[in-house]
Chain A
Amino acid sequence: MAILEEPIKGTVEVKNYIDGEWVESEGEIQDVVNPVNGKVIARVPISTKGEIDSAVEAAKAAFPDWRRTPPVARARCLFRLKELLEENFEELSRVQTQEHGKTIDESRGETRRGIENVEVACGIPTLMQGYNSEDIASGIDEYLIPTPLGVFGIIGPYNFPFMIPLWSAPYAVATGNCVVIKPSSEVPLSQMKIAELVDEAGFPPGAWNLVNGGRTVVNGMLDHPDIEGITFVGSTPTAKDVIYPRCGATGKRVIAQGGASNFMVIMPDCNLRATIPALMTSFFGNAGQRCLAGQNVIVVGDDDHFYKEFINGVVDTAKKIVIGNGLDEEVQMGPVRDTEKKKKILSYIDSGIKEGAKITLDGRRNFKIKGDYPDTCFLGATIMEYVKPEMKIVTEEIFGPTMGIIRVKTLDEAIEICDVNPFHNADAIFTSNGRTAREFKYRVKSGNIGINVGIVAPMAFFPFSGMRDSFFGILHTQGKEAVRFFTESKVVIERWP
C-alpha cells in the first residue's frame, strides 16, 4: 500500500494572522521538523510582546461589532467554516501527521473531533439562550442574559495541534467574543490552515487571530488587561504554577488542563478479545502522547491463569504494532514528537527499572520501523511488570508508549491506587459485571471515566473533564460548559409601574 502524498511541500514560512491579515513577525525564527524523517517543513516565528499586543488590540476593536452581530449570523460563519473544514478534511489530517508524526487514522480522528466542536457551536442561537421568571414579585420579572465578555486567549499543546484549540475557539466566537490563539510552536501548521479557512469563511477582521510563539506570547496574554480569560492545555506544572495563579492574580477566567497518569483497571471477568485492542489504542495510540492515554494497568484478582493470559495477549499484540511513517496507512504507531521527548520517556523507563519494575517488552531498542526512516524519534511499545503505585512511572506523567502493570487482589485496592495518584484525568475499568462497573464509576475520583472504553474522550457536546492535578478551574472546555465559560450571566429585574 502506497504512502499518502505529503500536503506540505518544501518549507512553509509561517505568519501570524492578526486583524484579518497575514503578517510577518519580527521575532526570531524556529524550524518545524517532521519527526519521521527530520526534514524541516516550516519556519515559525517566536512572536514579540508587541505582536501579541496588536493581536489583542485588533480583537478588542472587533468585539463591539461582533458582539452585536446576531447569534444566527455568527452561527452562519461557523457553518461556512464547518463546510470548509469538511472540504479540506483529508489535507488537514495529513498536515497533522506531517507536523506531529501521528498515524493518518489518528489524524483523521482528530480532524473529526475538531469539526464536531464547530458543529456544536453552530447551535449557539439555542445554546446561548437565557431563562426567565415572571412575577418574582408583584409586576416584577427577572431574567438572565448570557453576554460575551470580550477577548479570550487560547493556548494549545503539541499533541493535538488541530483539535485542542477547537475545544474553545468555536464557542468563544459563537458567543460573540474574539479570540487570540497561540498554537504550540512545535506544530503551528494545523492552526495556520484553520485560520486560512476562517478567513475564507468570512469572519470579520479581528474576531479570530493567530499569534505564533512561546513564553513571550503566553506572558503577554496572561498579563494583558484586555484579555478576559484563558484556556490552556499543556503540562501540569505550567497549568498549576503559571497559568492558573497568574489568571487569578489578573482577574481572568481560566480553564487550565494539565497532565495525567491514567489507570486501566482490568477485572478477570472482562472480555479479553475486546479489551486488548482498546488497551493498544489507549497506551500506544498517538505514541502515548495524549492526556487520556492509559499509563498503568491494574490487574485485579489472584487468578494467575487469567493474569498470564492477559499478559501474553497484550505483549503479543503490542509486539506486532507496525511502527513507521503515519502517512503509510498500515502504520499503527508513529514517532514521538522530538528527541527531547524521547529522552524523557527513556529516562522514565530507566527509573522504573531502577525502582524494581521488570521489562516484559522492551520498546527502547530492537523495534522494527517500516520503511527507511532514522530511529531518531521512534520508540517501540514498552511493557513493564511488577510496578508499584509509589514509583515515578505511576506518580508522574510519562507521555509515551509505555504500559506499567500493577497487580492487586481486590477492586477496593485498585480504586485506592487510582485515588491516591495526584492526577485524575481519565480512569477506566474493563469488566462484564455491571455492579463492579457501577462501583468503580461511583467511587473513582476522576474527571473522565471509561467502562470498557480505553480512551475516554468526551464528545463535543460533553465537557472535557478532569480533576485535581489534571485540571485547574471550574468550567471545562467543550459544549454547554464552554458556552458558560465564555459568557457572563447578566441578570435583569424589571418593573414597569
Chain B
Amino acid sequence: MQLNTSASVISFAKQLEVDSAGFYDKMAERYPEAAELFLAFSKENNKYAMMIQRAYYEVITDAIEGCFAFSVETDKYTFERELAKEIGYANALNQAIDVEQKLISFYVDAAEQSKAFMADVPRTFLIIAKKRKAREDKLRVILKET
C-alpha cells in the first residue's frame, strides 16, 4: 500500500513501533536470559512513538504540503511479528536484526522524503534510525556471543 499523507505515515510509524514493541515483549518472555534488554527495547519503542507524534503535531501547519509529503510503500517495511514455535535463540536474534533493518530503512526513507516539508519530523526519524542502528549492533554482538 502507498501512503502519501503525513497523517497516514505518522500513524504507520507509530504502528511499526507498537508492533516491534510487541515483538520484543515476546522475545523477553521466550528468552529470560536477555529479558531485561528486550523489555528495555520495548519500552524505548513507546518513547519513539511519542517522539514521532510530538514532532508531527508541533510542525504540521496548513502551510506545508502535509497531504502530499510522502510516497511510502508500506510493504517494504513490514516484518514478521511472531516468533516461530521452535525457533532457536540465534534465529530469533536474526529475526530481531531483520526487524531493526526494516525500521531503519523506513525511517531513513521517510526522513529523505519529508525533509523539504516537515522541519523537525525528518530529524526525529533520523534520530530513531540512529538509535535503532545502535540496537542492531548490540543484537549482532549478542548473536556473536551465542
Contacts and interface: CB of A to CB of B under 8 A. Distances in A.
A108 B59 CA distance: 10
B50 interface: no
Contacts of A104: 7
A106 B60 CA distance: 8
Choose among B6, B57, B65, B116 the residue with the greatest number of A CB atoms under 10 Å from its CB.
B65
A109 B4 contact: no
Contacts of A290: 62
Interface string A319-363: 000100000011111000000000000000000000000000000
B62 A286 contact: yes
Contacts of B56: 108
A110 B62 contact: yes
Given A105-B7, A329-B5, A277 B69 contact: yes
Contacts of B117: 277
A286 B59 CA distance: 18
Interface string A100-123: 000111101110110010000000
Contacts, number: 87
B67 A278 contact: no
A455 interface: yes
B116 to A, nearest CB: 6
B8 interface: yes
Contacts of A286: 62
A274 interface: yes
Choose among A106, A163, A456 the residue with the greatest number of B CB atoms under 10 Å from its CB.
A106
Given A89-B57, A274-B116, A108 B7 contact: yes
A457 B11 contact: no
Interface in B1-16: 3-8, 11-12
A283 B61 CA distance: 16
B116 A332 contact: no
Given A280-B68, A329-B8, A109 B3 contact: no
Given A89-B57, A329-B11, A454 B5 contact: no
19 contacts: A1-B12, A105-B66, A110-B62, A112-B57, A112-B61, A277-B69, A280-B65, A280-B67, A286-B62, A322-B4, A322-B5, A329-B7, A329-B11, A330-B4, A331-B5, A332-B67, A333-B67, A455-B64, A456-B63
Contact of B8 (A110, A160, A330, A333): A330
Given A160-B62, A281-B68, A331-B67, 18 more contacts: A1-B12, A103-B7, A105-B5, A105-B7, A108-B7, A109-B61, A109-B64, A112-B58, A112-B59, A329-B5, A331-B5, A332-B4, A332-B67, A333-B67, A454-B65, A455-B62, A455-B63, A457-B61
A134 B75 CA distance: 71
A455 B63 CA distance: 5
A105 B4 contact: no
A294 interface: no
A20 interface: no
Nearest to B58: A112
A113 B62 contact: yes
B61 A278 contact: no
Contacts of A278: 65
A247 B143 CA distance: 76
B66 A109 contact: yes
B68 A332 contact: yes
Nearest to B11: A329
Interface string A265-309: 000000000100110110001100010000000000000000000
10 closest cross-chain pairs (CB), A and B:
A109-B62, A457-B63, A105-B66, A329-B7, A277-B68, A329-B8, A332-B67, A281-B65, A109-B61, A277-B65
Contact of B63 (A1, A109, A317): A109
Contacts of B65: 277-278, 280-281, 454
B8 A1 contact: yes
Contact of A106 (B3, B58, B67, B69): B67
Interface in B96-146: 116-117
A453 to B, nearest CB: 8
Interface string A130-171: 000000000000000000000000000000100100000000
Nearest to B53: A90
Given A105-B67, A112-B57, A281-B68, A330 B5 contact: yes
B60 A105 contact: yes
Choose among A105, A277, A453 the residue with the greatest number of B CB atoms under 10 Å from its CB.
A105
B114 to A, nearest CB: 11
Contacts of B3: 1, 330
B60 A112 contact: yes
Interface in B28-67: 56-67
Nearest to B71: A277
A96 to B, nearest CB: 11
